[in-house]
Structure 1
Amino acid sequence: MKLNLRIFYSLFFFSTINICNAQTKIAGKADFADAKHYKTDSVFKNVMIDTNIFNIRVARKSDADESTKKELALSITTADKNKVLLQQYFDQNEYRLFKINNDKLNSTGKLFLEVIFNGGGSGYNGSCFEIASRNDTVKLVPVYNFDELSLLYFSSDNEIIKLEGIWNFKEDESHFSEHRYSVTKINFTNATFKSTGLGNTKFKYEMADGEHALKKLLLLMKKKEPLLLKTLELK
């Protein structure tokens, strides 16, 4: 199985936010009741969600439109465009669609959506959802929340390790200082994602910068604090 890592910090975020946007980008009207307030950003055609095929459209609020506070609009339709299955609006102003084991959205595997609020500078925060197709419906299943100090390790579609940096202002820590981390294990079970807190690290560690660095960081944590990370299997 291909090893996949997702790391969220400012430089990585700006370099990857449009990866999925480059796959299929088509101009057109949005599938929303208040479409006049939004401009289409991207259309993703023939996206596989579980074992079904759909089209996904993402639209952005018009810059000069102050009649709505929702920045993004998401619409999911059947592949023949005859039926709208989901419409969702978000306060966040950026997004990313991705699968863990493949860059193509028409491949197998869970489909994830991240929506991110970025107000400028190095700080940001967001939420991740699985877009799921179950029992003839399409819905968003919450997975995790994140910010600029979050490190996410996807061991599979069904297990994610989240490291959340603990910013200690009393010790004069900066954004890129070494931090202690809270460790959370996120597992998919009974059609939902369940988070289990494993505790906080005793030692401080550098922020991981890249995929290999994150795996190296987790292995170092497991070596120095085996009781905290004893349930983690790094593949």
Structure 2
Amino acid sequence: MYAADRPGQAARYAVQALQEGPNMRSARLDHYRSQIAAAALSFATVDEPNWHRRWPDTEESMVRIGITGHMNLSPDTANLIKDAFATALSEEERTGQELVGVSCLAEGADAIFAQTILDTGGLLEALLPGPDYRDTRVSETHLPTFDVLVRQAHTVRYAADASSMDAYEAANAAMLDSVDVLWAVWDGEPSPAGKYGGTADAVAGAEARGVPVRRFWPAGATRS
């Protein structure tokens, strides 16, 4: 379930829904409706006297960016990707749109993207396979980074009741149905046989839905 951090978020999603109009995918419309409803529930408990000053004007809009990518990036590649993300997000900032990043916070590309979104001043939505993801799927070395990102996320939601291959696929689907563009840190290779929910599958899913894909794989990039 979505959680809104302020009442003004309801208006943001309402405005975005109106701007996109009849061309919006039905799943994306459902996403906006759930965000609006969640934010509306917080109206009665707001204890900030000036919260209404943050209500967006009708010209404000946002761009929602999803991320998929390899976990096992070499250290040098991780730095290349971080720099590429920072440059790309600076380009997005110049459009005047609010940036929202949607990430499962996995080690590698997802975590690098999430941190870069935050560093840019954007909003981070954590979309996790299941409530047990942290305890059953996150490596000990990645836990400190994962926990920091979860604490900084303005929204945390789950694709399933428990983490599994099906849950990974569901998380990919939920992300693709709620974003404007997918950023992919991808070497171009297909997913290993018998494994689903990986980078190549997310790219294929985006293309099938008509979601634009921006690929990041700089010269010299390698996987460890």
* TM-score above 0.5, yes or no: no
Q: TM-score w.r.t. structure 1 length?
A: 0.24
The one of the two structures with greater contact order (alpha-carbon pairs below 8 A, sep at least 6) is 2
Larger helix proportion, structure 1 or 2? 2
Larger strand proportion, structure 1 or 2? 1
Q: TM-score w.r.t. structure 2 length?
A: 0.25
